[in-house]
């Protein structure tokens, strides 16, 4: 077996995996704190990517500026989602929110298709084509960037949840929603912030990864399925679990498609998910907004 | 007494209007296609090809003194929707000739409808070989195909690969991709070794694992079967990996996006076999391409050519038949000897034409085209 | 010479298929309070089962249709056993993932399904050797099957098991106290749902004569959710009305698929947000502590 090939599989897998983790962390956060599965998660990613495209290719804003602007815009979108979906349904059965976010996802996919058309679009990034070689292993600029963003985002999120008062309020709500009322925590405020944070994290992933891929209105479907797999493997609501599970998935996929064939790539996520559900439904790390 | 009568008359008129057949004056050609959905940009090209064909025919006085028009119904390339669309075209719009859909699955689903309704049908784009097998003698007499099928493309590809000893395949995991790989594998030279065979879902954008493996296994050639956008991503990542083996079979070298990549010189030696290429210059092709580009600011894609050519062949057959009577048109189609853009179009006993193909090779960062006969 | 245009007959046949599918979802969503996105899975399983049994073994449709139903029911059980143990959120995700997984398997198990090439030339339904020829015959057949489907649904929900389903949906702790095993009842619901969808799938396969792995796609769930919820989940005729309206309306308005989908999304969002009664009736278990069937 060619060692450099194996190392390359590992390097590829780590960067892809961190991307998966970053994309899934928002989903895990929203589930952990609001106990809601956001079926529109993939579409937030997709709308973020299209917004970045619009800023860059249509409005001529450079990538380094467009990226943070887009993340802020998507955080605002998260707030909108909170107002329209999460807040009105705070005391309603879970399935209501699932259906509502499913409806939102259908609406967004079709709106984007009507506005932008179905031709795949492409975002230019200053890191296009940048390749580094270290010890026979290739590293690609954009992918390194994704890994860095993922790690920094996770560190930032953990610090926020541990050190700030809002963060503590969010963790409290994850533990016991009813007790929050007794302690004077404003559930509505926490809901808004969580939704915004979840959307922002998703947008961070979108902005970092979109230049590597093509944009099309259905692209959120792949993202949300991978994120579901990651969150189920890591444990619903577990933040670091999501990142680690994402890493695991990325590396497993890389080796599986590298050694067995590209056809098996998606099967890996499903297999791991099924194994996890049969053997340990709470995921590797269990449910908790544990940091 | 007047008002009710007026209303009655109005109601009757409306009822008649709703059930009346469309004006018989126009000769109508109908086809299903992806107006919406993931392949809609190709559906757009199909429409443009039809528009141009119909406009040219009408400028020359129409066919049999009648105007020609076309109707496109949305199928999203899905078999069930294509059946719905075709049914509408046959029963509601009462088209004279039906064309196939973009995707082979959708076209196959429509073929039995044409047979049941006794409607001549021309497959203008789909390349699945089974369509040929099912048409003509011993099968569906009403279906004809003006474009080559994948078997013909595979034969030519196989001949070009006669000297290649080791080869890897990457194809989209669809009926097209799987069928194409199977056909080419069957035609490789004796002693050729297939190093690897990967199928990727057609929305896949990450080819790193496969390219990593290829960096180690180093086959002599990498055969690619995928659509332009996906293939272009593959080409980009290929350059990042610093791979050297030529891309062969059906890489998207012709896509406008690929031009800048080709200019880097990293793809010299790569080649592709295509049923059509807009940048091939010949009097016939220029006459088709120039007005198209002037109108749409883009070159015609293969699908636009396919639809255009098929409408022309249909018009030619109707002219020779002297009417739009289905049996007469079908007989006329069988006897077709039409001077097409790439060469003569005539149908064998499976109603399949054996049009010339284009062999395009990258030399010094540029594309060199030549026509080759199909086998 | 048929007085009715084949196009309208075609719409009629598709409506019949959707009535069966709507009742399938109705049993899960309406009567059992389970948000299952797995209907396409059973639909596809039934379609492939009937197609393969007819083409490979030459069985008469009277047999293959029953087998397709059985395959649908078994698929329901196979999915139900692992998924019902999970929390309600994971349940929804898993039912959705099941359809994707089946699509993957159908695409790659080429020896059985011919993968992406699909299965073509599926003969029309042959009942005891007599073929269903022509669209009028098919319309009559689907109309009959729709009646059978609705009658079956009525029989199921008015039976003792059906009432147990509704009891579990409305108040699980009380149902348990009354001696009902929620898991068994829900598995029964899964099986019934699978049977109906499997039958619909078989009809679809024989009618269109061509199926491919795309049959497991999510888009029919989109339509079904609107048909069932808008029509009235948990009622017998509501989903039927929903199926009829939402098969005919998009065709009549010649809506572009995107506009149709957009409309469905908006309708779904509006009803979900502004019809608290409807939702509470089906998903009434929110009173129970914990996430649901499993923890």
Whether chain B has a CB inside 8 Å of the CB on C214: the answer is yes
What's the token pair of residue C256? Answer: 């572009």
Average pLDDT, chain B: 87
Q: What number is the average pLDDT over the span C67-94?
A: 91
Give the pLDDT score at B123. Answer: 95
pLDDT in tens, A243-266: 999 999 999 999 998 888 888 888
Q: Is C43 helix (H, G, I), strand (E, B) or coil?
A: helix
pLDDT of residue B11: 44
Residue B1's pLDDT band (cuts 50, 70, 90): very low
- Taking an 8 Å cut-off on Cβ atoms, the answer to whether C272 and A99 are in contact is yes
B33-85: pLDDT as tens digits: 988 767 778 898 999 999 999 999 999 999 999 999 999 998 888 888 898 89
d(CA B335, CA B348): 10
pLDDT at position B230 over 70? yes
For the cut 90, the answer to whether the pLDDT of residue C67 exceeds it is yes
pLDDT value of position C281: 56
Q: In chain A, which residue's Cα lies nearest the Cα of C87?
A: A281
Q: State pLDDT tens for residues A145-199.
A: 999 999 999 999 999 999 999 999 999 888 888 888 888 889 899 999 999 999 9
Contact A110 C93 (CB under 8 A): no
Q: Report yes or no on C279 lying in a domain.
A: yes
Which residues fall within 8 angstroms of residue B138, CB to CB, at 6 or more apart? none
- Subunit partners of chain B (3 or more CB pairs within 8 A): A, C
pLDDT of residue A1: 63
pLDDT confidence tier of residue A291, bands split at 50, 70 and 90: very low
Contacts of C115 in chain B (CB under 8 A): 173, 175, 178
Classify domain B2-148+283-355 by CATH architecture: 3-Layer(aba) Sandwich (3.40)
What residues of chain A, 259 to 288, have a C-beta less than 8 Å from chain C?
Answer: 263, 266-267, 270, 273-274, 277-278, 281
Question: Residue B304 has what pLDDT?
Answer: 95
- B81 CB-near residues (< 8 Å, 6+ apart): B32, B74, B75, B106, C257
Q: Which of A118, A136, A146 to mutate to test the interface with B (most CBs of B within 10 A)?
A: A118
Q: What is the pLDDT of residue C278?
A: 56
Contacts of C218 in chain A (CB under 8 A): 221
Confidence check: pLDDT of A235 > 90: no
pLDDT digits (tens, 9 = 90+) for C191-203: 999 999 999 999 9
Q: How many CB atoms lie within 10 A of CB A71?
A: 23
**Per-residue pLDDT at C230 exceeds 60:** yes
Q: In this complex, is the C-beta atom of A20 within 8 Å of any C-beta atom belonging to chain B?
A: no
B351 phi-psi bin (left φ>0, alpha ψ -120 to 50, beta other): left
All residues of chain A having their beta carbon less than 8 Å from the beta carbon of residue C259 are 110, 114
Q: What pLDDT score does B163 carry?
A: 86
Q: Determine the 3-state secondary structure of B360 from DSSP.
A: strand
Query: Within 10 Å of residue A105's Cβ, how many Cβ atoms?
Result: 23
Q: Which of B86-95, C47-56, C69-78 has the lowest mean pLDDT?
A: B86-95
β-sheet bridge partners, residue B171: B199, B225
Give pLDDT, residue C3. Answer: 63
Q: What mean pLDDT comes out for the span A110-136?
A: 84
H or E element that contains B241: helix B228-241
User: Helix (H) and strand (E) counts for chain A?
Assistant: 11, 2
**ipTM of this predicted structure:** 0.84
What is the model's pLDDT at position B360? 92
**Cβ separation A236–C258 shorter than 8 A:** no
Distance CA A34, CA A192 (A): 10
Residue B4 has pLDDT above 70, yes or no: no
Residue with tokens 């026979």: A136
Task: Identify all chain C residues contacting B175, using CB atoms and an 8 Å cutoff.
Answer: 115-118, 212
Residue C293 has pLDDT above 80, yes or no: no
Q: Which of C7, C115, C210 sits opposite B178 (nearest CB)?
A: C115
Per the structure, the complete domain to which residue C242 belongs is given by 6-289
Interface of B with A in 303-342 (CB under 8 A): none
Tokens of C252: 């009549």
Rounded to a whole number, what is the distance in Å from the CA of C266 to chain A's nearest CA? 7
* CATH of the domain spanning B151-274, picked from 3.40.50.2300, 3.60.20.10, 3.40.47.10, 3.90.1140.10: 3.40.50.2300
Q: List chain B residues with CB under 8 Å of A213.
A: 205-206, 233
Q: Are A107 and C266 inside 8 Å of each other by CB? A: yes
For residue C265, give the nearest of A98, A103, A263 by CB distance.
A103
Per the structure, the count of domains in chain C is 1
**Domain presence at residue C149:** yes
- Give the start-end residues of each E strand in chain B: 27-33, 68-74, 97-99, 121-123, 143-145, 166-172, 193-200, 221-225, 247-250, 271-274, 338-339, 344-345, 357-363, 366-372
Contact by Cβ (8 Å): B274, B254: yes
| Residue A250: closest C-alpha in chain B | B209
* A102·C225 Cβ contact <8 A: yes
Is the CB of residue B165 less than 8 Å from the CB of residue B187? Answer: no
Q: What is the rounded distance in angstroms from the CA atom of residue A156 to the CA atom of residue A140?
A: 24
Q: What is the pLDDT of residue B168?
A: 94
B79/C107 touch (CB, cutoff 8 Å), yes or no: no
Mean pLDDT on B269-276 = 92
Which chain A residues contact residue C225 at CB under 8 A? 99, 102
CA-to-CA distance for A207 and A214, rounded, in angstroms? 12
CATH for C229 = 1.10.3470
pLDDT of residue B228: 80
Count CA atoms closer than 13 A to B105's CA, side-chain side: 26
What is residue B125's predicted lDDT score, i.e. its pLDDT? 93
Mean local confidence (pLDDT), C15-19: 96
Question: pLDDT at residue C286 above 50?
Answer: no
Q: Rounded distance, CA C158 to CA C178, Å?
A: 18
| Tokens of residue B46, six digits | 């199909």
Q: Is the pLDDT of residue B339 over 80?
A: yes
pLDDT single digits (tens) A1-56: 678 889 999 999 999 999 999 999 999 999 889 888 899 999 999 999 999 999 99
Residue B7: pLDDT over 50 = no
Distance (Å, whole) CA B270 – CA B255: 14
Residue C224 has pLDDT above 60, yes or no: yes
| CATH classification code of A3-279 | 1.10.3470
Q: Where in chain B is the domain with CATH 3.40.50.2300?
A: 2-148+283-355, 151-274
Q: What are phi and psi of B292, to 5 degrees?
A: -60, -50
pLDDT value at C164 more than 80: yes
**Proportion of chain B above pLDDT 90, given as a percent:** 50
Output the average pLDDT for chain A: 89
CB A227 within 8 A of CB C96: no
Give the rounded percent of residues in chain A with a pLDDT score beyond 70. Answer: 98
Between these two residues, B223 and B163, which has the higher pLDDT value?
B223
Rounded to a whole number of angstroms, the distance between the first and last alpha carbons of chain C is 62
pLDDT of residue B18: 42
Measure CB to CB from residue B199 to each of A131, A253, A263 and give the nearest one: A263
- Residue of chain A nearest B173, judged by CA positions: A263
Tell me the average pLDDT across C259-284: 75
Q: Is A201 helix (H, G, I), strand (E, B) or coil?
A: helix
Question: pLDDT-derived band of residue C226, with 50, 70 and 90 as boundaries?
Answer: confident
Min CA distance, A130 vs chain C (Å)?
34
Residues from chain B that touch C204, judged by Cβ atoms under 8 A, are 80
- Nearest CB to A96 within list C86, C266, C283: C283
Mean pLDDT of chain C: 87
B269 touches chain A (CB under 8 A): no
The tokens describing A195, both together, are 């939704």
A186 with A87: CB under 8 angstroms?
A: no
Distance CA C14, CA C18 (A): 6
């Amino acid at each position: 077996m060619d060692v450099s090939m194996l190392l390359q599989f590992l390097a590829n897998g780590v960067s892809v995996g961190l991307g998966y983790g970053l994309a899934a962390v928002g989903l895990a956060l929203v589930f952990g704190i609001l106990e809601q599965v956001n079926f529109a998660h993939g579409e937030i990613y997709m709308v973020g990517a299209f917004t970045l495209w619009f800023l860059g290719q249509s409005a001529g804003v450079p990538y380094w500026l467009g990226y943070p602007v887009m993340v802020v815009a998507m955080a605002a979108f998260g707030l909108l989602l909170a107002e329209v979906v999460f807040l009105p349904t705070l005391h309603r059965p879970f399935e209501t929110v699932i259906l509502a976010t499913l409806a939102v996802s259908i609406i967004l996919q079709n709106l984007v298709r009507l506005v932008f058309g179905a031709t795949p679009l492409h975002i230019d990034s200053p890191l296009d084509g940048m390749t580094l070689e270290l010890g026979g292993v290739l590293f690609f600029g954009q992918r390194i960037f994704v890994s860095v963003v993922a790690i920094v985002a996770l560190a930032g999120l953990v610090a926020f949840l541990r050190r700030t008062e809002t963060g503590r309020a969010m963790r409290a709500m994850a533990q016991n929603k009813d007790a929050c009322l007794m302690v004077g925590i404003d559930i509505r405020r926490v809901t808004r912030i969580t939704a915004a944070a979840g959307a922002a994290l998703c947008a961070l992933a979108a902005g970092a990864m979109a230049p590597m891929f093509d944009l099309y209105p259905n692209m959120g479907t792949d993202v949300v399925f991978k994120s579901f797999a990651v969150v189920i493997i890591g444990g619903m609501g577990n933040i670091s679990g999501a990142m680690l599970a994402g890493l695991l998935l990325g590396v497993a996929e890389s080796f599986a498609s590298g050694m067995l064939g590209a056809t098996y790539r998606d099967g890996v996520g499903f297999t791991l998910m099924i194994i996890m559900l049969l053997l340990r439904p709470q995921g590797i790390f269990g449910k908790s907004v544990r940091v | 007494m007047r008002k009710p009568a007026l209303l009655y008359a109005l109601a009757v008129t409306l009822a008649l209007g709703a059930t009346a057949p469309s004006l018989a004056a126009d000769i109508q050609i109908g086809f299903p296609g992806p107006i919406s959905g993931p392949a809609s940009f190709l559906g757009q090209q199909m429409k443009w090809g039809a528009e141009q064909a119909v406009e040219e025919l009408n400028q020359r006085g129409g066919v049999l003194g009648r105007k020609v028009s076309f109707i496109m119904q949305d199928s999203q390339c899905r078999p069930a929707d294509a059946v719905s669309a075709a049914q509408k075209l046959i029963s509601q719009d009462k088209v004279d000739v039906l064309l196939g859909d973009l995707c082979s699955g959708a076209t196959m689903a429509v073929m039995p409808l044409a047979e049941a309704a006794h409607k001549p049908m021309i497959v203008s784009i789909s390349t699945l070989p089974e369509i040929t097998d099912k048409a003509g003698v011993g099968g569906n007499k009403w279906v004809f195909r003006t474009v080559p099928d994948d078997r013909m493309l595979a034969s030519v590809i196989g001949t070009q690969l006669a000297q290649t000893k080791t080869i890897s395949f990457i194809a989209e995991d669809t009926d097209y991709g799987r069928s194409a790989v199977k056909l080419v594998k069957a035609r490789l030279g004796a002693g050729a070794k297939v190093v690897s065979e990967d199928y990727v879902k057609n929305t896949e954008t990450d080819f790193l694992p496969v390219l990593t493996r290829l960096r180690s296994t180093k086959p002599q050639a990498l055969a690619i079967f995928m659509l332009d956008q996906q293939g272009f991503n593959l080409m980009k990542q290929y350059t990042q990996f610093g791979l050297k083996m030529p891309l062969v079979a059906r890489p998207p070298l012709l896509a406008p996006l690929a031009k800048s990549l080709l200019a880097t010189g990293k793809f010299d030696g790569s080649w592709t076999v295509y049923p059509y290429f807009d940048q091939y210059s010949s009097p016939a092709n220029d006459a088709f391409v120039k007005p198209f580009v002037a109108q749409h600011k883009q070159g015609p894609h293969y699908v636009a050519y396919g639809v255009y050519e098929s409408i022309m062949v249909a018009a030619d057959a109707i002219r020779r038949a002297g009417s739009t009577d289905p049996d007469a048109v079908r007989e006329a189609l069988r006897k077709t000897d039409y001077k097409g853009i790439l060469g003569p179009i005539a149908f064998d006993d499976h109603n399949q034409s054996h049009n010339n193909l284009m062999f395009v090779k990258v030399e010094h960062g540029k594309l060199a085209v030549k026509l080759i006969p199909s086998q | 010479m048929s007085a009715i245009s084949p196009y309208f007959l075609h719409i009629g046949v598709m409506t019949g298929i959707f009535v069966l599918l709507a009742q399938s979802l109705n049993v899960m969503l309406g009567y059992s309070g389970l948000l299952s996105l797995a209907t396409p899975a059973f639909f596809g399983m039934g379609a492939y089962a009937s197609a393969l049994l007819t083409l490979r073994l030459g069985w008469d449709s009277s047999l293959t249709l029953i087998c397709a139903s059985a395959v649908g029911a078994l698929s329901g059980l196979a999915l139900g056993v692992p998924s019902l143990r999970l929390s309600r959120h994971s349940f929804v995700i898993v039912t959705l993932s099941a359809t994707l997984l089946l699509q993957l398997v159908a695409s790659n198990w080429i020896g059985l399904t011919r993968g992406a090439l699909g299965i073509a030339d599926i003969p029309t339904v042959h009942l005891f050797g007599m073929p269903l020829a022509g669209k009028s015959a098919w319309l009559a057949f689907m109309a009959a099957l729709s009646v059978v489907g609705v009658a079956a649904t009525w029989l199921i929900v008015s039976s003792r098991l059906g009432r147990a389903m509704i009891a579990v949906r409305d108040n699980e702790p009380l149902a348990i106290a009354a001696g009902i095993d929620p898991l068994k009842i829900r598995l029964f619901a899964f099986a019934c749902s699978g049977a109906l969808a499997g039958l619909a799938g078989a009809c679809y396969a024989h009618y269109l004569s061509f199926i491919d792995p795309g049959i497991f796609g999510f888009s029919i769930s989109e339509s079904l959710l609107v048909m069932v919820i808008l029509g009235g989940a948990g009622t017998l005729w509501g989903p039927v009305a929903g199926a009829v309206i939402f098969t005919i309306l998009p065709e009549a308005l010649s809506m572009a698929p995107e506009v149709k989908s957009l409309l469905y999304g908006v309708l779904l969002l509006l009803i979900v947000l502004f019809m608290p009664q409807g939702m509470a009736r089906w998903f009434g278990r929110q009173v129970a502590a914990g996430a649901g069937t499993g923890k």
